[in-house]
Each structure stands twice: as C-alpha cells, then as structure tokens.
C-alpha cells in the first residue's frame, strides 16, 4: 500500500511538472476515406518525460482524472489542437480537414466548458466547423440532461460530435435519437476479430447499418490490414483510422498529420 501511494504521488507530481514544463505532445492520426484521401485526424495525447521516454495516456489518464488535473490537461489539448487546426485551415490543401479531440467526462461537466471553448476558438482563430469532440458512451449516459445541454450549446458554436468506442458501453437508442451526435466510431476491439469472429463481424455490420438508418456518419478505428478495410467497405463503412494508414501515406504527408505540434 505504501509503495502504491508513493507511486501515485510521484505520478501526480510528474503530471503537474509536465503542465508547467510543456512536456505533453499531440500526435495527429490521419482519418481516411475510401479513396485513400485524408479527411481529418484525431489528436492523440503523449507525455514526453525529461529522459526522452514517451508515455501513453493509459499510463497516466486515470490518475489525472482522479486528481482533477484532467481538466487542465484537457484544456491544453484543446488549445493545442485548435492552433493546429487553424494552421491547416489557412492552407488551401488542408483547409477541408477536420480535427477530433477527446473530451473526458470530468472535463465535460465543467460549468464553464462552453465559455472556455469559445475563448480558445477566438484566441486561436480556428473555425469550429472543423472541430469535432469525441465523447464516450459512459459520459453520454452518466448525466443525460446536462450532457444534452452542453452538447447543444457547443453545437451552436459550430462543433460536431463523435460517439467514441461505440458498442462497448451502455448507450441506448434514446441517446442517439435525442443528442446532436454526428458520427459513431466503431471501437478497435471489434476490428481485431472482425475477420475471424462471427460475433465481432455481426456487431460491426449492425453498427454500420444503424448509422445509416439514423443518418449518422460512421468511422472505424484500429484498422490495421487491407482485409479489415475491405470488410468495412463491403459492409458500407467508408471512413477509416488506424495503423494501416500511418504506414501507407508518404513521409511528407505523415509529417503533416502525425507529428507532434506545440
């Protein structure tokens, strides 16, 4: 127990230092259409320690959420992503791109989230029509009334919404019907077995069909092979994200969408 408490305190202190010293980075994972054109990207958070080690969110996000540091980290992510989005929007060949940002449940319940988001958009000059907030299913169902209110206020700014990790949580069709959701995101856990597991394949096909019937966009994350991509295309999903595309695009293209930005 003592060792666990010490490790927790050390991690918390490290996160506070990371905010002070600008040790966080954003990587931009490209999102592609069926013609292999880049349509946007998802901003992925990384923590670069002073010794050069790169840590993934799974190593520190839970502690950040428990200590409320997630709110400050989330605002840093949003501001940094909006700066990058504004840069893309000033260039003719990237002006059409969208940028997805993950928003935590703790961050989303902040009473001044809408005002802070509006201020960041104003400061960075980013057009909110290119910005997409990714929300988890658990966030959507935790406090439906407040979530709906926040989403509608953010929608008025021009921001769109993607329901992340769809199929792994507890959202209902009532949520999809009554919330201003634009896109469903098929979770990568289903993609791993989509070619070998009949249940995973059936779930993916059902999500794609549901999206179409509700008039929602659908995108699959965790696409790693051409076989997975072909399965999705045959099922009616024409937007993809994953390791397959990070390898397929050119180094020049990759540097634009997958390198870190400060």
**What homologous superfamily does CATH list for 27-44+68-257?**
EAL domain (3.20.20.450)
In this prediction the pTM is: 0.89
Contact 187, 165 (CB under 8 A): yes
Q: What is the pLDDT of residues 145-155, one digit of tens each?
A: 888 899 999 99
Both tokens of 60, joined, read 């520190």
pLDDT band, residue 130 (cuts 50/70/90) = very high
pLDDT score, position 250:
42
Tokens 């045959």 correspond to 234
Alpha-carbon torsion angle 203, 207, 210, 215, nearest 10: -170
236/131 Cα distance (integer angstroms): 25
114/157 Cα distance (integer angstroms): 9
Contact 15, 74 (CB under 8 A): no
Per the prediction, the chain carries an average pLDDT of 88
Q: What is the pLDDT of residues 233-262, one digit of tens each?
A: 999 999 999 988 775 554 445 445 444 343
For the chain, domain boundaries: 27-44+68-257
Average of per-residue pLDDT across 203-223 = 94
Q: What is the pLDDT of residues 29-83, one digit of tens each?
A: 999 999 989 999 999 999 999 998 999 999 999 999 888 899 999 999 999 999 9
């Amino acid at each position: 127990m003592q060792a666990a408490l010490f490790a927790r305190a050390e991690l918390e202190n490290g996160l506070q230092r990371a905010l002070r010293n600008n040790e966080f980075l954003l990587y931009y994972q490209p999102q592609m259409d069926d013609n292999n054109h880049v349509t946007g990207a998802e901003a992925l958070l990384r923590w670069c320690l002073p010794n050069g080690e790169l840590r993934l969110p799974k190593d520190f996000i839970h502690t950040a959420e428990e200590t409320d540091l997630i709110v400050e980290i989330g605002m840093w992510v949003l501001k940094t992503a909006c700066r990058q989005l504004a840069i893309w929007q000033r260039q003719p060949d990237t002006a059409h791109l969208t940028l997805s940002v993950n928003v935590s449940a703790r961050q989303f319940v902040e009473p001044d989230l809408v005002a802070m988001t509006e201020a960041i958009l104003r400061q960075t000059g980013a057009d909110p029509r290119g910005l997409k907030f990714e929300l988890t299913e658990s966030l959507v169902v935790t406090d439906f009334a407040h979530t709906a209110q926040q989403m509608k206020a953010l929608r008025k700014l021009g921001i769109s919404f993607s329901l992340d990790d769809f199929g792994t949580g507890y959202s209902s069709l009532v949520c999809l019907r009554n919330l201003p959701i634009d896109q469903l995101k098929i979770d990568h856990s289903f993609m791993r077995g989509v070619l070998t597991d009949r249940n995973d394949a059936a779930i993916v096909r059902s999500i794609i069909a549901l999206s179409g019937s509700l008039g929602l966009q659908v995108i699959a994350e965790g696409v790693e092979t051409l076989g997975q991509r072909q399965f999705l295309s045959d099922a009616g999903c024409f937007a993809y994200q994953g390791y397959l595309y990070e390898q397929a695009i050119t180094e020049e293209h990759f540097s634009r969408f997958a390198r870190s930005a400060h």
